[in-house]
Amino acid sequence: MNRIGIYYAYWTREWDADFHPYIDRVADLGFDVLEINAGTAARMTPAERRELRSHAADRGITLTYCIGLAPDCDIASPETQVAQRGEAFLNQISTAVGEMGGGKVGGILYGAWPMTLPAGDTDRRPYLERSISIMRRAARVAADHNVIFNLEVVNRFEQFLMNTCAEGIDYLNAVGAKNVRLLLDTFHMNIEEDFIEEAILRAGDHLGHFHIGENNRMPPGYGSIPWTRIAAALRKIGYTGDVVMEPFVQPGGQVGADIRVYRDLSAGLDLDSEARKALHFMRGVLK
């Protein structure tokens, strides 16, 4: 049975947050996993990280981590200092997560987010080559700290290096590290893949983490994503990893700005009730 989680930013408008209240919240709602901002965890003191790890363990919650690299930490950048800063930040994240017992770090770790191909450039290859070269080194540091990198394949409006599962697999093969895997997300697959189920089947053993959300960024059950067929594909490849919902429903703050939430999708809804409803819906689908 897959553990089911939720991203803390469903409830907040800012990326930096105190995660302790969300540990209690998701535990009370019945979730198994809380996904938090890897950058915030990396900037905590060792004592703060120990306290967070202990709190999660006491409530029976597994922590996973996610981030999109900022433009000044873009490991695909042609600017050497920027790329080096990104590598150092990935290593800082690995060290921090290692202090918390290791685990899964996902997101856009291979480049900046959001980011488009710079004006005048038509060839992604130099960006991919720089990213892959640094990712090989960063993966070795991550492995030393019992960290798995799950690289999130996202849509063309948010990143340009990998938009499909097939492109993600090509990147993994080029890196050649066992602890670098794929993160597929139903919201992004709904935009880019010809057939979502086929993309999951293609990912197979490369799939290390799975994000779920509707086509409209609402919690599962409020849109047109084919959940039954997705669940069947996950069962077919024997995926037993975590399934983390990533709804974004509130405008405002840095979260609303980065995710481009302009309509208040939360109006008239009780967020906790909707999260619980989505959890029960997905448990029924994935069983």
Q: What is the pLDDT of residue 168?
A: 98
* Longest CA pairwise span in the chain (Å): 53
pLDDT digits (tens, 9 = 90+) for 122-166: 999 999 999 999 999 999 999 999 999 999 999 999 999 999 999
Look up tokens 């089911």; give the residue. Answer: 4
What is the tally of structural domains in the chain?
1
Q: How far apart, in whole angstroms, are the C-alpha atoms of residue 124 and residue 76?
A: 10
Q: How is residue 279 written in tokens?
A: 């959890």
Region 84-113 average pLDDT: 98
Cβ contact 132:151 at 8 Å: no
Dist CA 242 CA 184 (whole Å): 12
Cis (ω within 30 of 0) for the bond into 114?
yes
CATH code of the domain in which 120 resides: 3.20.20.150
| Element housing 210 (H / E) | strand 207-212
Active site positions, annotated: 152, 246
Angle formed by the axes of helices 227-236 and 196-203, nearest 10°: 20
Q: List, in sequence order, every residue forming a beta bridge with 112; answer none if it has no partner.
A: 69
| pLDDT (mean) for 59-84 | 98
Q: Which domain holds residue 188?
A: 4-286
* Backbone angles phi and psi of 3, in degrees to 5: -75, 140
Question: How is residue 71 annotated by DSSP?
Answer: G
Residue in this structure with the two tokens 């991550």, named with its chain if needed: 142
The per-residue pLDDT for 89 is 98
Q: Check pLDDT > 90 for residue 1.
A: no
pTM over 0.95, yes/no: yes
Instruction: Name the token pair of 235.
Output: 């069962």
